[in-house]
Structure 1
Amino acid sequence: IVVWLFIIIFSMADSIAAHVKFSELCEVFDKTCLLKKQEKSNPLSLFIKVYKERASNLRTQYPNASTSFYPALRLILPQLERERAAYGLKEFTLAKRIIKILCLPARGGDAIRLTGFKTTGHANVKDFADAAYWILRKHFLDSSGVTIAEVNRCLDAISQLNSDNNPRKFVV
């Protein structure tokens, strides 16, 4: 077990995806949403350029390091993901888990906004992701050290539990 854990930690540290924060990618998405159609590719192009530069720097330090853009691409284009199976989490199930994790009152305003996101009528809420965002941002820091590699690892674990017909075993 110790050897296996060492291999996972070493391989994660030996990858550019372990050095790029997920929040950096989220900032790209946020900026893209605010821009006009002809300018939407600029933040992503800049992100890719910086990613390549950081990958090059990592490669000089660790010649065997993985500098693939694929881990970021899995998060940018999840609908094209072929390696990762479905998560088995529909909006209502995910809402219930968020309510439980945050210890929200079941009949409280935030819980109602999450479970009834289609009918709450808030201007900022267009879909479940918007509803979850406005509630989660009140409970978490704006920035964290979570990396692209860690997000992919968690999503892979959720997907694996679902494909093993054991989605209830998922623990945050």
Structure 2
Amino acid sequence: MSDRTAKFSVLCSLFNWMQRSKSSAKKRSKFRKFLDHFCKSGEFFSAIRLILPSLDRERGSYGLKESVLATCLIDAVGMSRESEDALRLINWRKGGAKTGANAGHFSLVAAELLQRRQGMTSGGLTIKELNDLLDRLAFSENRAEKTTVLSDLIKKTNAQEMKWIVMVILKDLKLGISEKSIFHEFHPDAEDLFNVTCDLKLVCEKLKDRSTRHKRQVCACFQS
């Protein structure tokens, strides 16, 4: 299955499972199964860049911290910034009865807001389509353009998927599994090569075959 056909909803299911699981070993095993079943074509980068968004250097900064992202999401769904839901998202850090149980968790507050407008039916967004839209989001030069891209994402997803997309944009998935563990399950030499190159795409392309080891000196040659 390639990134052109693999649905982002499958990746969301992996994220949900990993977030709920308390066992690091089970998380690693589940991630390995995902790679084996849904990345059979050898196209790993498109999925792994979503799993490790903070390490993805191919895509530039989105220029969207929580405060700006909040107003863009509000505008993307056509909501008044003075509405109760909008103020709840804008003031997502604040606790109290008006902000609800998810106060302090931006992505959860956003998902709660979006669920009332999106529902839970997936739009069938593929991993490739998501990456293309995230590229557009990163390259957008102003807030209006970013809002348009977010509106397109909202139309193609459900609230649960948008929750994870928001976390990708903020570059923090909170999966409870380390980058080291992700690298090790992908390939035993992945962490070494990344530490030398800081290039996630190169790591995914050079280490497609987990059974083939790359000596440290081979990894080091990429540094020059």
Is TM-score (shorter-chain normalized) higher than 0.5? Answer: yes
TM range (shorter): 0.7 to 0.9
Tell me how far apart the structure 2 counterparts of residues 102 and 132 of structure 1 sit (CA, whole Å).
11
Partner of 1:108: 83
Q: Is the 8 A contact 1:23 1:144 kept in 2?
A: no
The alignment partner of 1:137 has SS state of helix
More deviation, 16-25/97-106: 97-106
Tell me how far apart the structure 2 counterparts of residues 43 and 133 of structure 1 sit (CA, whole Å).
25
Q: Is the 8 A contact 1:113 1:120 kept in 2?
A: no
* Corresponding letter in the other structure for 2:12: C
* Corresponding letter in the other structure for 2:17: K
Partner of 2:145: 169
Among candidates 17, 27, 39, match of residue 31 of structure 1 = 17
Tell me how far apart the structure 1 counterparts of residues 79 and 145 of structure 2 sit (CA, whole Å).
21
Matched, 1:135 2:113: yes
Q: 1:41 to 1:76 in 2, by over 3 A?
A: same
Matched, 1:87 2:62: yes
Among candidates 26, 29, 33, match of residue 46 of structure 1 = 33
TM-score computed with the length of structure 1 as normaliser: 0.74
Tell me how far apart the structure 1 counterparts of residues 23 and 111 of structure 2 sit (CA, whole Å).
24
The alignment partner of 2:89 has SS state of helix
* Residue 167 of structure 1, CA deviation: 4.7
* Corresponding letter in the other structure for 1:49: D
Tell me how far apart the structure 2 counterparts of residues 44 and 137 of structure 1 sit (CA, whole Å).
27
Partner of 1:22: 8
TM-score computed with the length of structure 2 as normaliser: 0.58
Partner of 2:52: 77
Partner of 1:123: 101
Structure 2's unaligned 5+ residue stretches are: 150-224
The alignment partner of 1:139 has SS state of helix
* Corresponding letter in the other structure for 2:34: F
Matched, 1:97 2:72: yes
Structure 1 stretches (4+) deviating beyond 6 angstroms? none
Q: Is the 8 A contact 2:21 2:27 kept in 1?
A: yes
* Residue 85 of structure 1, CA deviation: 0.8
Q: Is the 8 A contact 1:158 1:167 kept in 2?
A: no
Q: 1:139 to 1:43 in 2, by over 3 A?
A: farther
Identity %, equivalent residues: 34
Tell me how far apart the structure 2 counterparts of residues 160 and 105 of structure 1 sit (CA, whole Å).
26
